[in-house]
Amino acid sequence: MAAEYSRELSVKVHAGACRVAGLGFKQGGAIGYALRRELVDEDRHSRGILSKGQRKHLQTDRVLVRPGPEQEQRIVAQIFREYVVHRRSQASIARLLNKEHVANHRGTLWSEDMIRNILGNEAYIGNNVYNRKSFRLKQVMRKNPPELWIRATGLYEPIVDRSIFLKAQQLLKEQYVRLSDEQLLKKLREALATHGKLSVSIMAAADDMPSAALYAYRFGTLREAFRRVGYVNSERDFDYLDARQLSDANLLTQASIIGTRIRALGASAIFDADTKVMIVDGKLNVSLRMARYYIAPRHAPAWLVHRRIVEPAGLILAMRLDEQTNREVMDYFLLPLSEMAKERISLTATSRSRFARYRCPGVDDVLRAVMTKVAALPS
């Protein structure tokens, strides 16, 4: 009887929540960027904007979602414009905002997931959507079909033009459709017939073309994908993708060597292969990178180190590869995160470079520098 009572009560509570959501009131959960929560009484008279952490305290009060500051609204419009008009990836948009030092509602760096959540949130066209997911007692969370969603529309003036929002939803849906190998090759053949050649830049410029990285992943290398559609003339454009797998294996080897040496000194060293970050003695985060040799037109040769979307606080260990094969580690640069203010930095061979003071000729020099940093940190 107790179990049946709980079941009936749960059904009634859920039905009540759906009814209230259908009237346009927010039913719990975090608020998104450029949005605010307004507390209203039973007659919808405003009681003011709720700050982060504040909750309503009267049973008859309700919460409405409202557009936030104009500056944040402009950032949201920029995100949609970059994604829909300029066809930037979600990761690229996050990097752009971080580079411009745009603050978000969490007080952290922008991430790809944050951008994806904004692009798919109907709150930016004035809608309130409830019951998209269910999480029943002792069951896993599941996504509900659209026909079970509770949607209240036109609650306030849209932050984003509806046509741009709908186009973004179309692009998001296409992004996560799994194409077969034959469908991928068909798109390549169409691009080859149109342009007479294939390259990474041609693929990036096409609206409906999957990324070069997806082709490299699916067919082993981008060169192999090109070969399957009968294009074997180009070598230069995608050599770097063929070398990515080898570079990752090289990085794991270096991480194993450095981690073993640190543990031999009596400190702990935990390496996360997904983020490529080593945590030393539970205090210091060291992000490992391979700095590949690169010759750009009209520029001096350099070794490039790229900034990731989200960087842990700490150090970056860039391992500079040899000029001939881009496979053997020549030396190391132990850089503070503050040096990665830009999307990438270039290490040069000259001793006059501003990065020269961070150079470590060998692993022993790296270990000394890392352990000195660890010793200076509070326990």
**Tens-place pLDDT, residues 323-344:** 887 788 999 999 888 887 666 7
Instruction: Answer whether residue 29 shows pLDDT above 60.
Output: yes
Domain presence at residue 123: yes
End of a domain among 142, 173, 204? 173
Confidence of residue 20 (pLDDT cuts 50, 70, 90): confident
Domain for residue 251, yes or no?
A: yes
Task: Give the lowest-confidence range in 45-54, 105-114, 276-285, 339-348.
Answer: 339-348
Beta bridge partners of 328: none
Least reliable range by pLDDT among 92-106, 255-269, 287-301: 287-301
Beta strand 329-336 pairing with 150-152: unpaired
AA identity, residue 354:
R
Q: Does the structure show a pLDDT above 80 at 123?
A: yes
Q: Which domain holds residue 150?
A: 2-173
Pairing of strands 35-40, 62-67: antiparallel
pLDDT at site 257:
92
CATH of the domain at 160: 3.90.1750.20
In a domain, 179, yes or no: no
Has residue 305 got a pLDDT over 80?
yes
Q: What is the mean pLDDT of residues 20-35?
A: 84
The reply to whether 260 falls in a domain is yes
What pLDDT was estimated at residue 261? 92
255 and 305 housed in the same domain:
yes
Residue type at 303 in one-letter notation: W
Instruction: Report d(CA 358, CA 290) in Å as an integer.
Output: 15
Same domain, 342 and 363: yes
Query: Are 122 and 144 within one domain?
Result: yes
SS3 percent helix, strand, coil of the chain, rounded to 5, is: 40, 20, 40
At which of 221, 237, 253 does a domain end?
Answer: 237
Asked whether residue 309 carries a pLDDT value surpassing 90, the answer given is no
Whether 140 has a pLDDT exceeding 70, the answer reads: no
Number of H helices, E strands in the chain: 12, 15
- Mean pLDDT on 40-46: 87
Which has the higher per-residue pLDDT, 340 or 281? 281
Partners of 294 in beta bridges: 302
Residues 197 and 63 in one domain: no
Q: Is the pLDDT at 222 greater than 90, yes or no?
A: no
**Co-location of 205 and 334 in the same domain:** no
> What does each C-alpha distance from 172 to 90, 110, 208, 272, 345 come to in angstroms?
10, 19, 12, 29, 31
pLDDT at 136: 66
Task: Let me know whether 284 and 350 are in one domain.
Answer: yes
Question: SS3 sequence, 63-89?
Answer: EEEEECCHHHHHHHHHHHHHHHCCCCC
pLDDT mean over 100-105: 88
Q: Say whether pLDDT at 368 is over 90.
A: yes
Tokens of 81: 């414009």
Is residue 254 domain-shared with residue 205, that is, in the same domain? no
Q: Which residue has the higher pLDDT, 99 or 165?
A: 165
Name the burial class of residue 31, with classes exposed (0-12), middle (13-18) and buried (19+) by CB atoms within 10 angstroms of its CB. middle
pLDDT at position 173: 81
- In a shared domain, residues 229 and 258: no
Contact 310, 299 (CB under 8 A): no
Residues 6 and 130 in one domain: yes
C-alpha to C-alpha distances, 101 to 125, 166, 315, nearest whole angstrom: 26, 28, 20
The model's confidence at residue 87, banded by pLDDT at 50, 70 and 90, is: confident
The predicted-structure confidence for 146-183, as pLDDT tens digits, reads as follows 888 888 888 899 999 999 999 999 888 877 667 888 99
Number of neighbouring beta carbons within 10 Å of residue 266: 8
The domain that holds 324 is classified in CATH as 3.40.1350
CB 359 within 8 A of CB 344: no
Task: Check residue 164 and give its pLDDT.
Answer: 92
Tokens 């004035």 identify what position? 126
Rounded mean pLDDT of the chain? Answer: 83
User: In total, how many domains does the chain have?
Assistant: 3
Exposed/middle/buried for 203, CB within 10 Å: 0-12, 13-18, 19+? buried
Distance (Å, whole) CA 292 – CA 181:
31
pLDDT in tens, 191-212: 999 988 888 778 867 767 787 7
Q: Which of 132, 157, 123, 116 is nearest to 34 (CA)?
A: 123
CA distance 119 to 316: 31
The type of residue at 126 is G
Residue 316 has pLDDT above 70, yes or no: yes
Band (pLDDT 50/70/90 cuts) for residue 28 is confident
Among 173, 197, 213, identify where a domain stops: 173
Banded model confidence at residue 321, pLDDT cuts 50, 70, 90: confident
pLDDT at 176: 65
pLDDT reading at 350 higher than 70: no
pLDDT digits (tens, 9 = 90+) for 226-236: 889 988 765 54
Distance CA 47, CA 56 (A): 10
The pLDDT of residue 292 is above 60: yes
d(CA 204, CA 88): 10
Query: Which residues are within 8 A (CB) of 38 and not within 5 positions of it... i.e. 6 or more apart?
Result: 46, 47, 48, 49, 50, 63, 64, 65, 66
Return the pLDDT at 148.
86
Distances (CA, A) of 221 to 166, 225, 320, 352: 34, 7, 24, 38
329 in the same domain as 230? no
Q: Are residues 25 and 101 in the same domain?
A: yes
- pLDDT band, residue 377 (cuts 50/70/90): confident
Residues 163 and 212 in one domain: no
Tell me the H-state helices in the chain: 2-22, 70-84, 90-99, 112-119, 162-175, 181-195, 200-205, 212-219, 222-228, 239-242, 244-264, 363-376
Residue 110 within any structural domain of the chain: yes
Give the pLDDT confidence of 351-366 residue by residue, as tens digits. Answer: 677 888 899 999 999 9
Residue 204 counted as domain residue: yes
Quick one: pLDDT band at residue 369, thresholds 50, 70, 90? very high
Percent of the chain with pLDDT over 90: 26
Give a yes or no: residue 180 inside a domain.
Answer: no
For residue 340, tell me if it sits in a domain: yes
Q: Is the pLDDT of residue 306 over 70?
A: yes
